[in-house]
Amino acid sequence: MGGYTLGDYFVNSTILSTAYHHYRLVENPITKEKTFMSREDVIRIFLDSGKNEKEAIKYYNKCKTTLWEAYEVNKFGVLTVKD
C-alpha cells in the first residue's frame, strides 16, 4: 500500500467539503437550541413536532450558515472556530 496521490487528496477534500456544506446552523423548534443539522435531521424533528415536510425543507433552505463557514484558518495555519 503506497502513499496518497494528488487524486486522493482531491477526492477526499471534495467529499469533506460536501459534508461540511450539508450541515447548517438550525434552531431546533422543540428545544430552541441552535445546532448544526443535516436536512434529514431537520425533517425528522419537524415531523416529530407535528409539522410537515414542506415546512421543514423551507426552514432548512432559509438557514444559510453552514458548518464550512463556522471554521477559519488562523495566522498560524490552525483550524479554529469562528467567533
- Radius of gyration over every alpha carbon of the chain, rounded to an integer in angstroms: 17
For 20-73, the pLDDT digits (tens) are: 899 999 998 888 999 999 999 999 999 998 999 999 999 999 999 999 888 888
Answer whether 63's CB lies under 8 Å from 26's CB. yes
Grouping H, G, I as helix, E, B as strand and the rest as coil, residue 15 is helix
Side chain identity at 32, as an amino acid letter? K
Query: Pick the residue with more confidence: 5 or 41?
Result: 41
Q: How many residues appear in the chain? A: 83
State the pLDDT at residue 1: 54
pTM, 2 dp: 0.72
| Beta carbons within 8 Å of 10's beta carbon, 6+ residues apart | none
Residue 66: strand pairing partners: 24
pLDDT confidence of residue 82: 84
